[in-house]
């Protein structure tokens, strides 16, 4: 198992010489060290021979300090930049373009006359293609459970608690002698806790980047969405504690809310739809078409758009969540809309 401490200054000199901290820098020495360690962990987790011990050590590092988590988010942000490259052809074109852009005497003449640059492609043409964005892959390897786009999975945990993972979700399960802990990395989960058989009755908590949720005998969903954690409680109660302000609030059955590191939004009555996905159902209860489509696109790769003039049409009913194409066909039957398949990965819904 390798640790950041192994990488002494002589080991990473290329990176150090190009970018060592300087006086006017907008980053602290600690921030720089954390980034360096995050980059190291990234390389470890991405390796062919990554072990369970590496994952465990990475977790410990991640939890050690808030700076570490921030640094890891930057590493993920870099990884995400590569996500738009979806097809094999695009990837070849991208690599050729990147190689061309690296040519040392890039100048007007070369740009105007250059017919080269394409030579590099054949070198890579045999390479394997993986559709999943890399940052997700890295996280998925480091996590205990992961679902792909369009998958929903049910898992029974060691203590009998049940966990459903919604589409494109990643959860770490981390049961300690003193604590039952889940960490939601991406996506959404539904939890039905069991009472702990151990005498000590270990607390059951879920951590997200925005804070900690403590289950108080319960059934609830947790979702990471657009920089916030969404919580909906259907049985029992859940206590929220935000990551940086340490604000606490208990949310009881029948209520839902959302929170960031800094605060908790006022609760609202819980929508039934928020747990329907665990049964493979998309429940539309007077839902705007635009919201339904946003929900549907979580289960489907590629672009799914709605024309603005029909975005506010109201939709009622239940739809099969794991069959987005059938759902689209059903929408076409009940609404004055037409589904256009422009490209296999590019679908728009328009007025009929």
Partner 1 sequence: MLPSDHLSFLSIETLYCDHHGWLFRWLRGRLGNAADAADLAQEAFLRLLGKPCQFDSSESARAYLRAMAKGLCVDLWRRREVERVWLEIIADQPQAMVPSPEHCAIVIETLCEIAAMLASFPEKPANAFIMAQVYGMTYREIAIELGVSERMVKKYMAQAMLHCALIEVGYVAAC
Element containing residue 226 per DSSP (H, E): none
Q: Which of residues 287-316 bind partner 1 (CB under 8 A)?
A: 303
DSSP state of 132: S
DSSP states of 6-64 as a string? Answer: G--GGGGHHHHHHS---TT-SS-HHHHHHHHHHHHHHHHHTSTT--HHHHHHHHHHHHH
Give the number of other Cβ atoms within 10 Å of residue 253's Cβ: 15
Q: Which of residues 318-347 bind partner 1 (CB under 8 A)?
A: 342-343, 346
Q: Which of residues 96-115 bind partner 1 (CB under 8 A)?
A: 96-98, 100-103, 106-108, 110-111, 114
Q: State whether the Cα torsion 136-298-319-172 is positive or negative.
A: positive
Which CB sits closer to partner 1, 37 or 256?
37
**Minimum distance between the CB of residue 203 and partner 1, rounded to whole angstroms?**
35
Q: Which of residues 23-62 bind partner 1 (CB under 8 A)?
A: 25-27, 31-32, 35-36, 38-40, 42-44, 46-48
**Minimum distance between the CB of residue 346 and partner 1, rounded to whole angstroms?**
6
Which CB sits closer to partner 1, 21 or 227?
21
Which CB sits closer to partner 1, 40 or 181?
40
Q: Which of 55, 71, 273, 337 binds partner 1 (CB under 8 A)?
A: 71
- CA 283 to chain CA centroid, Å, is 23
Residue 136 backbone dihedrals phi, psi, to 5 degrees? -65, -40
Q: Which region among 17-25, 52-60, 178-186, 188-196 touches partner 1 (by CB under 8 A)?
A: 17-25
CA distance 331 to 349: 10
CA distance 326 to 175: 40
Q: Which region among 78-86, 149-157, 159-167, 170-178 touches partner 1 (by CB under 8 A)?
A: 78-86
Q: Which of residues 122-151 bind partner 1 (CB under 8 A)?
A: 123-124, 127-130, 132, 134, 137
- Per-residue x/- marks for partner 1, 221-260, CB under 8 A? ----------------------------------------
On the CB side of 170, how many CA atoms lie within 13 Å of its CA? 11
Only one residue has tokens 């029974």, namely: 156
**Minimum distance between the CB of residue 288 and partner 1, rounded to whole angstroms?**
24
Contacts with partner 1 by CB under 8 A: the residue count is 71
Residue 70 three-state SS: helix
Only one residue has tokens 């410990």, namely: 60
Give the number of other Cβ atoms within 10 Å of residue 27's Cβ: 12
Under the binding rule (CB under 8 A), the answer on residue 182 touching partner 1 is no
Q: Which residues pair with 205 in a beta bridge?
A: 181, 214
End-to-end CA distance of the chain: 60
Which CB sits closer to partner 1, 106 or 179?
106
């Amino acid at each position: 198992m390798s640790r950041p401490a192994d990488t002494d200054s002589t080991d990473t000199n290329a990176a150090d010489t190009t970018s060592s901290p300087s006086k006017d820098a907008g980053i602290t020495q600690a921030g720089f060290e954390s980034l360096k360690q995050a980059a190291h962990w990234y390389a470890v987790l991405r390796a062919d021979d990554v072990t369970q011990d590496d994952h465990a050590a990475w977790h410990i590092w991640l939890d050690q300090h808030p700076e570490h988590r921030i640094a890891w988010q930057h590493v993920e942000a870099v990884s995400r930049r590569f996500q738009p490259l979806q097809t094999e052809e695009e990837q070849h074109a991208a690599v050729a373009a990147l190689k061309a852009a690296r040519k040392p005497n890039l100048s007007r003449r070369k740009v105007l006359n250059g017919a080269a640059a394409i030579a590099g492609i054949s070198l890579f043409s045999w390479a394997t293609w993986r559709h999943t964005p890399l940052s997700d892959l890295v996280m998925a390897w480091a996590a205990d459970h992961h679902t792909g786009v369009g998958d929903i999975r049910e898992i029974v945990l060691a203590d009998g608690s049940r966990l459903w993972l919604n589409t494109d979700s990643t959860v770490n399960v981390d049961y300690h002698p003193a604590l039952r802990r889940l960490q939601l990395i991406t996506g959404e989960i539904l939890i039905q806790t069991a009472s702990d058989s151990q005498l000590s009755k270990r607390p059951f908590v879920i951590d997200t980047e925005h804070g900690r949720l403590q289950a108080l005998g319960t059934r609830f969903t947790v979702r990471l969405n657009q920089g916030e954690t969404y919580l909906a409680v259907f049985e029992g109660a859940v206590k929220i504690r935000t990551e940086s302000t340490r604000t606490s609030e208990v949310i009881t059955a029948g209520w839902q809310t959302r929170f960031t590191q800094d605060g908790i939004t006022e609760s609202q009555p819980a929508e039934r739809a928020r747990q329907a996905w665990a049964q493979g159902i998309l429940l539309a209860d007077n839902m705007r078409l635009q919201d339904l489509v946003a929900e549907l696109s979580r289960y489907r790769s590629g672009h799914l758009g709605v024309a603005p003039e029909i975005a506010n049409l109201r939709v009622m009913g239940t739809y099969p969540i794991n069959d987005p194409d059938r759902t689209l066909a059903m929408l076409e039957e009940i609404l004055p809309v037409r589904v256009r398949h422009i490209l296999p990965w590019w679908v728009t819904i328009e007025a009929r």
